[in-house]
Chains A and B, each alone.
Chain A
């Protein structure tokens, strides 16, 4: 699945964008299947806005986003659901877990949607990221770092051709970042998928094919 951006300008950021040369805003870009894109995005440049635009959560922008035949804006709610369930996965900066569900239930509800990952694999991944013992704890009682690891695993529990990540490791220590990055890399490779990693500072968590300033 190819991602094409055509002259995107988020309405709230229009004035600020006009003041500098962005590698994304107002550009026409194509991202090809399997690419690993790093977006370096200092605070206030619209990193989260971009992720939300790409994921179809925002429509307050000019220009068009194409995920192959799916276009944004312009796709119906059912199409959007299919895009999100089958082709594009996301790790939100604000994690977005169900606070009343346990860590395990938060993952299970995503896993059940498509059933592409086995329960054993899911629990194996929880063990790899060190949150297996938190299975039965409600998400609201987990630390932010633990919640972040739940959110990372959740994003991998579906088929996807692109993985969007918005500061996915902001609350993890080096050891945990390494484990998480290794797991993500493994699954992305297994899926033959591409990734878009947006973060504040330059890093080499993944073997990027392109680095772009937002």
Chain B
């Protein structure tokens, strides 16, 4: 049966698909291929930019998606510290702000803290502590927990502090520069509370944070001490940490400005970059659509020309009892694989480009996926679907014109 089918297809090919004018076909396919590739690339530009912004752990040093916001300290509110705290209503409002996916409060200590570094060094200082919910931390050390019976407190300090010490302070004072490991091996004591009501804990630096410029202890420790030594059940936070889907979004930036909130303005540089990326992406997309349109037009014209040229054979086949549906399917079986081939070539190019980009961007200590993600596949599927619909429509119409 299969052999017979093949033989019949051979006869139909002989009658309906002349090989004349094939250069036009190849030109159309080339235009379609370039158009599809450009379309995929324009989606990839946009998608990769999104990937950088979405703040996978490795990309976080860009400060892309987590930011701390606080109320601006102005001449007017300088004297009233309470006005720079966030009320529960304001926190809810931030939760609902554009692009904001999650909000956490930075809880600070309301009790005195006094740190003593190993008596022999004779180094002691008053200090502050803060805590954030664990889900906002970029690095969580293994021993990052605390319970009231535990006398050992892990601490995370901002890597900025270490840099300030190593490159600013130590050099000018002739003090030794310290590595992360050496700091982590230091043990010191934390004395919390005042007067009669005090306690001393052993503390050590458990890690360094690129994300949060503060001295962090586990949330449980701050909550416990605030209650025990400052008699405060819950204190309103003065800083919020927010996870933002797209910090370059204009609406988000306008929201911050409207509410007089400040953040690390460096994090907003994406806004300008985003403008550039949008222009490049849409220019590529526009060119892609233009090429796709021209390619599709030439391709469809080629099919219509083929059918018109085979008019005589086609009408005789219909007179012999071949159905328009069967002949239409035969034409589609001939032309669809060519379209799918262009799709495959375009997707292969897109995949190569993506993996090259991923390799290249690794040198900048950023991470992009090795393979194109679903938006690129979706763009391919949608453009192919539209092409297939257009082409099958033109085949069916052309054959029906003959059948009438």
Interface residues of B in 1-52 (CB under 8 A from A): 4, 7-8, 11-12, 14-15
Q: Given A109-B8, A112-B4, A112-B7, A100–B15 Cβ distance below 8 Å?
A: yes
**Which of B167-175, B209-217, B255-263, B313-321 has 4 or more CB atoms under 8 Å from chain A?**
B313-321
Say if the beta carbon of B404 comes within 8 Å of chain A.
Answer: yes
| B11-A105 in contact (CB<8A) | yes
Say if the beta carbon of B193 comes within 8 Å of chain A.
Answer: no
**Which of A7-15, A18-26, A76-84, A180-188 has 4 or more CB atoms under 8 Å from chain B?**
A76-84
B322 interface neighbour in A81, A105, A115, Cβ under 8 Å? A81
Contact partners of A55 in chain B: CB under 8 A: 319
| B321-A77 in contact (CB<8A) | no
Contact partners of B320 in chain A: CB under 8 A: 84-85, 109-110, 113, 154
Per DSSP, are chain B's interface residues mostly helix, strand or loop, or mixed? helix
| B11-A81 in contact (CB<8A) | no
Contact partners of B319 in chain A: CB under 8 A: 55, 57, 84, 96
Contact partners of B403 in chain A: CB under 8 A: 77, 80
Interface string of A65-90 (1 = CB under 8 A from B): 00000000000011011101110000
Q: Given A109-B8, A112-B7, A81–B14 Cβ distance below 8 Å?
A: no
Contact partners of B324 in chain A: CB under 8 A: 77-78, 81
Interface string of A85-99 (1 = CB under 8 A from B): 110000000001010
- From A57, A109, A110, A115, residue with most partner B Cβ within 10 Å: A109
A77 interface neighbour in B12, B14, B15, B404, Cβ under 8 Å? B404
The chain A residue with its CB closest to the CB of B327 is A81
In the bound assembly, the distance between CA atoms of A99 and B271 in angstroms comes to 69
| A108-B7 in contact (CB<8A) | yes
Contact partners of B7 in chain A: CB under 8 A: 108, 112
Nearest CB of A to B15, in Å: 6
B14 interface neighbour in A78, A100, A113, Cβ under 8 Å? A100
| A109-B321 in contact (CB<8A) | no
Say if the beta carbon of B334 comes within 8 Å of chain A.
Answer: no
The chain B residue with its CB closest to the CB of A79 is B323
Interface string of A131-165 (1 = CB under 8 A from B): 00000000000000000000000100010000000
The chain B residue with its CB closest to the CB of A99 is B312
Say if the beta carbon of B393 comes within 8 Å of chain A.
Answer: no
| A98-B15 in contact (CB<8A) | yes
Contact partners of A115 in chain B: CB under 8 A: 4
Say if the beta carbon of A1 comes within 8 Å of chain B.
Answer: no
Q: Given A77-B400, A77-B404, A112-B4, A101–B321 Cβ distance below 8 Å?
A: no
Nearest CB of A to B120, in Å: 98
B316 interface neighbour in A77, A82, A96, Cβ under 8 Å? A96
Contact partners of A77 in chain B: CB under 8 A: 318, 323-324, 400, 403-404
Contact partners of B326 in chain A: CB under 8 A: 81
Contact partners of A110 in chain B: CB under 8 A: 320-321
Say if the beta carbon of B325 comes within 8 Å of chain A.
Answer: yes
Interface residues of B in 293-313 (CB under 8 A from A): 313
Contact partners of B12 in chain A: CB under 8 A: 109
The chain B residue with its CB closest to the CB of A78 is B323
Contact partners of A85 in chain B: CB under 8 A: 320-323
Q: Given A77-B403, A109-B8, A98–B316 Cβ distance below 8 Å?
A: yes
The chain B residue with its CB closest to the CB of A59 is B404
B321 interface neighbour in A81, A96, A100, Cβ under 8 Å? A81
| A109-B11 in contact (CB<8A) | yes
| A101-B400 in contact (CB<8A) | no
Query: Sorted from nearest, which 9 A-B pairs have the closest CB atoms?
Result: A85-B321, A81-B323, A84-B321, A77-B403, A112-B8, A109-B11, A77-B324, A78-B323, A110-B320
A-B contact pairs, 29 of them (CB 8 A): A77-B324, A77-B403, A78-B323, A78-B325, A81-B318, A81-B321, A81-B322, A81-B323, A81-B324, A82-B321, A82-B323, A84-B320, A85-B323, A86-B321, A98-B15, A98-B313, A100-B14, A100-B15, A101-B15, A105-B11, A108-B8, A108-B11, A109-B11, A109-B12, A109-B320, A110-B320, A112-B4, A113-B321, A158-B321
| Known contacts A77-B404, A85-B320; 12 further A-B pairs (Cβ under 8 A) | A57-B319, A77-B323, A77-B403, A78-B323, A81-B326, A82-B323, A84-B320, A85-B322, A96-B319, A98-B313, A109-B11, A113-B322
